[in-house]
Amino acid sequence: MFTFKEGVLSRAAHDLALRLDRCVVTLDGDALRAELELASLFVEGPVESGVVHAERFDAATRSEIERAMHEHVLDTRRHPTARFTGTATPTDSGFDVSGKLELVGHSEPLSFAVRRENAVFRAELELVPSRWGIEPYRALFGAIRLRDRVRVTTAMSENG
């Protein structure tokens, strides 16, 4: 996942790469379900010119960002899991997926394409967090803030 900065002092901030470590995706016929454990969302590091520089963040910086993400943005104590339920319709190149994403207690429609590359399924989509009631994170009285856009990329092998 990737977040993007904006604001008057955005040069002092970073675009970020995040990683979700625990999720379960099941496909039964055309019924698709995914459970994403939000507490397993971690900061990989800042992104500059499209490259993740994990070495530029120490443990304290990662911890501070993760605390804000879990406590103030996603409220993972009250909403520990995001869920997607929908259908995956086969296409020549993979699947067209449509359904609903439940995130922080709100459910909204979501559609995206999944491409098959050999034995790997890949998807890239953009979420607008405010659709789920998530306000863009702000610091320094709004001089630094996150855009209301998160890019999600996934890759999963045929065997999980």
pLDDT digits (tens, 9 = 90+) for 70-124: 998 899 999 999 999 999 999 999 999 999 999 999 999 999 999 999 889 999 9
What is the C-alpha to C-alpha distance for residues 120 and 105, in angstroms, rounded to an integer?
Answer: 31
Nearest to 49 by CA among 82, 21, 14: 14
How many CB atoms sit inside 10 A of residue 14's CB?
21
What 3-state class would DSSP assign to 56?
helix
Domains of the chain in sequence order: 2-157 (2.40.128.110)
β strands within the chain, DSSP E = 2-6, 15-20, 23-28, 31-37, 41-48, 51-52, 81-91, 94-103, 106-117, 120-127, 138-139, 144-157
What is the pLDDT, as a whole number, of residue 5?
73
Q: What size, in residues, is the chain?
A: 160
Average pLDDT over residues 10-36: 86
Task: Indicate whether 21 pLDDT > 80.
Answer: yes
Query: What is the sign of the dihedral through the CA atoms of 64, 67, 18 and 151?
Result: negative
Tens of pLDDT, residue by residue over 43-61, are 999 888 888 999 988 999 8
DSSP 69: I
